[in-house]
Amino acid sequence: MAEFLFEIGLEEIPARMIASAEAELQQRVVAMLERERLVSAGVASKSFATPRRLAVWVAEVAERQQDITEELVGPSVKVAFKDGVPTPAAEAFAKKAGVAVSSLKTVTTPKGEYIAASSTKQGLDAADVIVSELPKELAAIYWAKNMYWRPGRPERFVRPVRWMAALLGAKPVKVSFGGYEAGSVTYGHRVLFGDEPIALKLPGEYEQTLEKSFVVADVAVRRHKIRKALDAVTRTVAEARWREDEDLVETVTQLTEWPSVIMGSFETEYLALPEEVLVTVMRDHQKYFAVEDKAGKLAPHFLAVLNTEADEAGLAVIRHGNERVLRARFNDARFFWEFDQRVSLADRVELLKNVTFQKDLGSYAAKTARVRKLASNLAGLVLQRKCELNPVALDEAVSLAKTDLTSELVKEFTELQGIVGGLYARAQGLSAAAADAIYDQYKPVSMEDSVPRTVEGAVLAMADKADTIAGMFGLGMEPTGSKDPFALRRAANGIVKVLAETTVALPLTLTEVAAAACGQNEALTGKVRGFLAERLEFYLREARGQAYDVVKAVLAAGADDVRDAVARAEAVTAVRGSDDFAAVSAAFRRMKNILAQAAEKSIAPGAHVEDALLAEASEKALAQRSSELAARVASLRAEKNYKAALESIATLRPQVDAFFDGVMVMVPEPEVRANRLALLTQVLGDFSGIADFSEIVTAG
């Protein structure tokens, strides 16, 4: 047994691709070694990654594959031998198995006598196996975007390969890929160590050797080092905190081999710009962390993560450079902000005619017109149901929602669209309701993001998204498989999330949203509605963590009212663990099966339950108890007290158990049979309004 190490050195890998590539390389190398019988299942392994390298270490690799003997079964004896003489079939089999005809054996199988051969495959040296198999694994790694780099283009990879190291114990393994042959040499930090080759002696020394060469190869260690440095540097300013930003920590971790942190400052006059603008400039454009005071207000400092270390004088130079860049960026932002104020949002409406939304769907002016109508329809429904909504503010917000696309600030910082519009609306004296709605219009941008703060904002956000979905579906540009170039799934997830999570319940159904977006086109409405329902299923599972069967059961009983579906799912999850509920669910599944089998045999249930035809005590009991319960469950359902309703249904257990113990449904007498089927139909009908319990998976 020997430890194995493989490292591939590359020109800087895009930060966003490193984590998945690191995991994939580890998974591929270990799986390959296991497939080749060189490691046992569950072997210890560890992965490493920096912008310039991906590496994997495996604990115990056999030096050689074990020989394996396989028993191969060939044609039947009758076919293989005629009068005791081997036929061509026997010869062909012997050749394939690599044995002489004389050493063929006979085995007895359930199908009769067959010939067989024992074939021994010689094990290969681990190094030889790795040399032949590892390059295929490397070539198969998935990259979101890759490139050719060598003339003749033999391979594509994320960036040019610069070296490879492969060690099995102390011995280099000559893996070839991308024009390189692996050796036992690696390289340290580009600047701090320089391009002197570093000899690796043993796989287990990899991490320490790199550490001495100013490379922290373990991503978790690097991340921790960065977080600690962020904390330490921030402490130099009294009561300051750096603004937590997990994504940014991840990015800078993948941009550095030897991280350190500096704090820089900027003139307080820039704090007059909106915080959103300052933070976007720092985070998205410069990868700086924002700093806030104890009240959570932005402080005139920033934190930059460096890929180097320097003494005080060196840090001063680097800090000065970073401050200079940030000041220029802030100056640009301030210039755009002031420049944009020359034209009001209202005057920008006209300019929207020049901004394309989508080539077949026209300009943003056209989109605005559609969304206005859509939003007004939805607002009408909301008002009809006696819910609060300011239709004037909503219409103002919708009319101006996209005008910030014509502003210089949004052209420069596209990630601030909507937010800039909201800020400008407030600066230009629009109502807070309109300004907030504009500000929140793209919310939620992800499953983790929050929903708009106001009803107006929620209606605008939904109308905008629904218009995009309906428009794209109308053009036949529906998402397929993993392809969703217009982020329609995200838009639909957003609609579902808005309906589910606004502070005040929005009385709108998915069908209403789809119909408002698609107008008279019923086929399109159906498609869009189906798409939204699919996202509701996704939402219940992913955002609410509901079990697959609960979601299926709940949606089978209605998938139109999002908040109601969430409440029903939560209630089902709350009670599903009880024995009574599980037993009732299992019984309901049985009822459904019986009805389905009857339907298959074209046996129709009676139109309704005839008490006179109820013969057995247990069926009488079920009929009586269930009709008593039905009224109670219906009223609990009407109050949306789903948990109590479900608990009531579960009390039916003694009667359903007794029914199935004592009653045969499919009896020969047609009238009795039809009546019993009618009873089951009625029970299922009365109690499946919250969820179709026959979908619930129960143990046993």
Which spans of this chain sit near another protein (rule: CB under 8 A)?
11-12, 14-16, 51, 145-153, 159-160, 162, 190-192, 195, 255-256, 286, 288, 304, 306-308, 310, 314, 316-318, 320-322, 324-328, 331-332, 335, 351, 353-356, 359, 362-363
Q: Which is nearer to another protein, 71 or 267 (CB)?
A: 267
Q: Which is nearer to another protein, 153 or 601 (CB)?
A: 153
Q: Please calculate the CA angle 480-481-486 and round it to the nearest 5 degrees.
A: 50
Angle separating helix axes 522-542 and 548-556, nearest 10 degrees: 150
Residues near 121 by Cβ (< 8 Å), separated by ≥ 6?
A: 67, 68, 69, 70
For the bound state, the minimum distance from the C-beta of residue 376 to another protein, rounded and expressed in Å, comes to: 24
Q: Please calculate the CA angle 54-58-64 and round it to the nearest 5 degrees.
A: 125
For the bound state, the minimum distance from the C-beta of residue 150 to another protein, rounded and expressed in Å, comes to: 8
Q: Which is nearer to another protein, 124 or 351 (CB)?
A: 351
For the bound state, the minimum distance from the C-beta of residue 367 to another protein, rounded and expressed in Å, comes to: 11
C-beta of residue 610 within 8 angstroms of C-beta of residue 620: no
For the bound state, the minimum distance from the C-beta of residue 365 to another protein, rounded and expressed in Å, comes to: 9
Q: Which is nearer to another protein, 128 or 309 (CB)?
A: 309
DSSP string, 355-380: SEEETTTEEHHHHHHHHHHHHHHHHH
C-beta of residue 473 within 8 angstroms of C-beta of residue 531: yes
- Residue 290 DSSP label: E
What is the CB neighbour count within 10 angstroms for residue 323? 17
Q: Which is nearer to another protein, 46 or 190 (CB)?
A: 190
For residue 48 the two structure tokens come to: 């490493």
The number of residues in the chain equals: 700
Q: Which alpha helices (DSSP H) does 283-342 contain, by range? A: 286, 312-340
For the bound state, the minimum distance from the C-beta of residue 338 to another protein, rounded and expressed in Å, comes to: 10
Q: Which is nearer to another protein, 294 or 353 (CB)?
A: 353
For the bound state, the minimum distance from the C-beta of residue 257 to another protein, rounded and expressed in Å, comes to: 10
How far apart are alpha carbons 514 and 465 in whole angstroms? 11
For the bound state, the minimum distance from the C-beta of residue 359 to another protein, rounded and expressed in Å, comes to: 5
What is the CB neighbour count within 10 angstroms for residue 70? 10
For the bound state, the minimum distance from the C-beta of residue 306 to another protein, rounded and expressed in Å, comes to: 4
Q: Which is nearer to another protein, 260 or 618 (CB)?
A: 260
Residues near 380 by Cβ (< 8 Å), separated by ≥ 6?
A: none
Residues near 260 by Cβ (< 8 Å), separated by ≥ 6?
A: 229, 305, 306, 308, 309, 310
For the bound state, the minimum distance from the C-beta of residue 569 to another protein, rounded and expressed in Å, comes to: 41
CA distances, 70 to each of 91, 112, 117 (Å):
18, 20, 8
Q: Which is nearer to another protein, 333 or 674 (CB)?
A: 333
What is the Cα 420 distance to its own chain's centre?
A: 29
Q: Which is nearer to another protein, 67 or 360 (CB)?
A: 360
